[in-house]
Every structure is written in structure tokens, then in C-alpha cells.
């Protein structure tokens, strides 16, 4: 019975190569001036034109929002030593009611946590530049202007989609009136991951995230970025490859488990690639595969795999004293807590 449940997860090498070809095709569509609006892989320009070269210096604030928690950081970089010499951080939780409430409440919560951090580190009298990592699909119009396309990862705050999130952050800070921030650089978490590697390996030109969701960025030649004027130099592209398959192109490899997780998610039909479990080439063991399991869906899929033998086949109807039809809310946990 277990082998029967696991069989759909085993893909042939030729199928995996086909998936790779489809992804490349959608990435090219996303870069096109006249095709990007129909592309499930959005290939968003970031306006980041280079990776760090070691000449950066100064004190900076950073906000990292991309899941059920967000981080506030103070970073100090010395040019002479070409390294980060100080990094203080604080993790702040985002309650469920804020994740699903009005956007103003979310940004007021972020501003309040930033104020608490500045107070505790005696930084409130300074106006420091801020890097804002906002790890949701956004249309970036400039380095400090980014419009949310849609929520993912369990967020569904009203009044934010279609709005400039940098402006919403500034407005929340101004409503408080007890501190201010300097210039803001808006980056996706994949971009921040790539940039942070700059001091250790300046040849790093790809950033990839596998966490609450999955995404990647890379440095692209400007001549291939048809949505932005100019052909000289390069620009970092935020692929937003989590949307791969939203047009149905992965339907042939979706399992019953994928369909259940998608149907019961907050945004059905969105971020299909994120909600795919690990796929194993048919000639490999699961332990030897590179998986795309993400925190946001692993618990649900594991539950579905364990539930299925109790709802079909020889174990049908046998519950063993457990509620196998679905998880009671009190037993739901984000896998990040467990890890």
C-alpha cells in the first residue's frame, strides 16, 4: 500500500528533462516584452545591476518579511575589512489574525516591531538606510517602489495587492511619528541571499530559497530583459518560479496529494510549483534526490499520505483511535517550529 502511494512521486529522467524544458520556455516568455503578462513564471526585473564588490560600508537596517515570522536587523560593514563586522537581529512573530486581516494592521505591526528594535539597540536617534526584503510576488518599478501582485504563503491581507509596499511601510512609520528611516532598497529574499554571498564569493550570481516557499534569482544580460529599456550591462531577475505550472503545464505530473493541498490552500491554483512535493527519478531512492519540499506544505502532504491508506484499500475504516480525516486546528504546526 505504501509503495502504491509513493509511485506517483517517482518520475523518469525523461519526464524531469521535459519539466526542465517547460520551465526554460516559461522563463523566456517571462522576459519577453509582449509575452510576460501571460507567463506563469514572471521573471521580474529587480533594478539591482551588480553584485557586491567589497567597497560597501556603513550602518544599515534590514527588514525580512517572507513567512510567519519576520526579522529586524542592524548591520555594520567596514570597507577596509571587506566584511560585516556587526549584525544584531530580532525575530518577531506575525499572529494569524494579522496575516489574514487588513494590510494597515500588518504594516503597523512591522513598524511597531522596528521601533522596539531601535529602542533596545539605542538607534532611534539615527536615520539609517533600510533594506526591505519582501518575499512575495511584486512588480518592481524602481529600487524603492514595488507593487504587490498577489499574496502567497498563508498571507491574505486586504488592501495591499496592487499597492506599493514601500509606501505602506513608510506610512505606518509616519503614523507612529517617533522615528524615521532613510532611503529604502526593496529586494526579494532570493536577491538578498545572492547579495549576502558577495563578500565570500564574488562569482556568486544565483540565489535560491527553499523554505516557506521556493524561488530563485540570477544575473541576466540586459539585452535579454525586454521589459526594461537599455541593453548594456546586467540586471538581477527575480524568477518567481513558484508560479510555474499555474497555467496547467504540470498537470500530467500532479498527484492526488498535490490536488488536495492546492484545493485546501488559501489561494487555489496559485504557486503550483511551490505546492509540489519532492519528485524522485525512478532509478533513485528518495534519500538521494533533490527535493522541493517546502515548510508551507510538507505537513499537509505527509498527513495526506498517512490518511490515504485509512480511506482506501485494506485499512479502509480503521482509524486506530485517531482522527485521520483531517487535522484538528489545535494540531496544526508550521514545520519551521518543529525544525
pLDDT in tens, 114-170: 999 999 999 988 999 999 988 888 888 888 999 998 898 889 999 999 999 999 999
Q: CA–CA separation, 207 vs 196, rounded Å?
A: 9
pLDDT of residue 303: 52
Q: Decide if pLDDT at 327 tops 50.
A: no
Distances (CA, A) of 5 to 2, 112, 264, 280: 5, 47, 20, 13
The segment with the largest mean pLDDT, out of 36-40, 79-83, 105-109, is 105-109
Q: Please report, for the chain, the start and end positions of each structural domain, with discontinuous segments joined by +.
A: 2-16+247-338, 58-196
Given a contact cutoff of 8 angstroms between Cβ atoms, the answer to whether 39 and 30 are in contact is yes
Higher-confidence residue: 105 or 281?
A: 105
Q: CA–CA separation, 190 vs 245, rounded Å?
A: 20
Mean pLDDT lowest among 102-106, 161-165, 187-191, 199-203: 199-203
Indicate the pTM of the whole model. Answer: 0.70
Q: Decide if pLDDT at 316 tops 70.
A: no
Q: How confident is the model at residue 335 (pLDDT cuts 50, 70, 90)?
A: very low
Higher-confidence residue: 309 or 38?
A: 38
- Other CB atoms within a 10 A radius of the CB of residue 54 amount to 13
Q: CA–CA separation, 41 vs 291, rounded Å?
A: 20
Q: Decide if pLDDT at 11 tops 90.
A: no
**Residue 96 — φ and ψ, nearest 5°?**
-55, -40
| Residues with active-site annotation | 153, 189
Q: Domain 58-196: give its CATH architecture.
A: 2-Layer Sandwich (3.30)
Q: CA–CA separation, 111 vs 261, rounded Å?
A: 33
Amino acid at each position: 500500500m505504501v509503495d502504491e502511494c509513493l509511485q506517483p512521486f517517482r518520475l523518469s529522467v525523461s519526464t524531469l528533462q521535459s519539466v526542465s524544458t517547460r520551465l526554460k520556455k516559461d522563463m523566456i516568455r517571462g522576459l519577453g516584452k509582449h509575452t510576460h503578462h501571460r507567463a506563469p513564471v514572471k521573471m521580474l526585473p529587480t533594478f539591482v545591476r551588480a553584485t557586491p564588490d567589497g567597497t560597501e560600508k556603513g550602518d544599515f537596517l534590514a527588514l525580512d518579511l517572507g513567512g510567519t515570522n519576520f526579522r529586524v536587523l542592524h548591520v555594520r560593514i567596514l570597507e577596509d575589512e571587506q566584511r560585516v563586522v556587526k549584525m544584531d537581529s530580532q525575530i518577531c512573530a506575525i499572529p494569524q489574525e494579522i496575516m489574514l486581516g487588513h494590510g494597515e494592521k500588518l504594516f503597523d505591526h512591522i513598524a511597531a516591531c522596528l521601533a522596539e528594535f531601535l529602542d533596545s539597540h539605542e538607534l532611534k536617534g539615527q536615520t539609517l538606510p533600510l533594506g526591505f526584503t519582501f518575499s512575495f510576488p511584486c512588480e518592481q518599478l524602481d529600487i524603492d517602489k514595488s507593487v504587490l501582485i498577489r499574496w502567497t504563503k498563508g498571507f491574505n491581507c486586504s488592501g495591499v495587492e496592487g499597492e506599493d509596499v514601500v509606501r505602506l511601510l513608510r506610512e505606518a512609520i509616519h503614523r507612529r511619528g517617533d522615528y524615521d528611516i532613510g532611503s529604502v532598497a526593496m529586494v526579494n529574499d532570493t536577491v538578498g541571499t545572492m547579495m549576502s554571498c558577495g563578500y565570500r564569493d564574488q562569482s556568486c550570481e544565483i540565489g535560491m530559497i527553499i523554505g516557506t516557499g521556493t524561488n530563485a534569482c540570477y544575473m541576466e544580460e540586459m539585452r535579454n530583459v525586454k521589459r526594461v529599456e537599455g541593453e548594456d550591462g546586467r540586471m538581477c531577475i527575480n524568477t518567481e518560479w513558484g508560479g510555474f505550472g499555474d497555467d496547467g503545464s504540470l498537470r500530467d505530473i500532479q498527484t492526488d496529494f498535490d490536488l488536495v493541498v492546492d484545493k485546501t490552500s488559501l489561494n487555489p491554483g496559485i504557486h503550483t510549483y511551490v505546492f509540489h512535493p519532492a519528485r524522485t527519478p525512478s532509478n533513485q531512492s528518495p534519500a538521494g534526490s533533490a527535493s522541493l519540499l517546502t515548510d508551507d506544505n510538507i505537513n499537509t502532504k505527509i498527513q495526506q499520505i498517512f490518511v490515504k491508506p485509512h480511506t482506501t484499500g485494506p485499512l479502509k475504516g480503521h482509524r486506530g483511535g485517531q482522527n485521520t480525516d483531517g487535522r484538528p486546528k489545535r494540531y496544526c504546526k508550521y514545520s519551521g517550529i518543529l525544525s
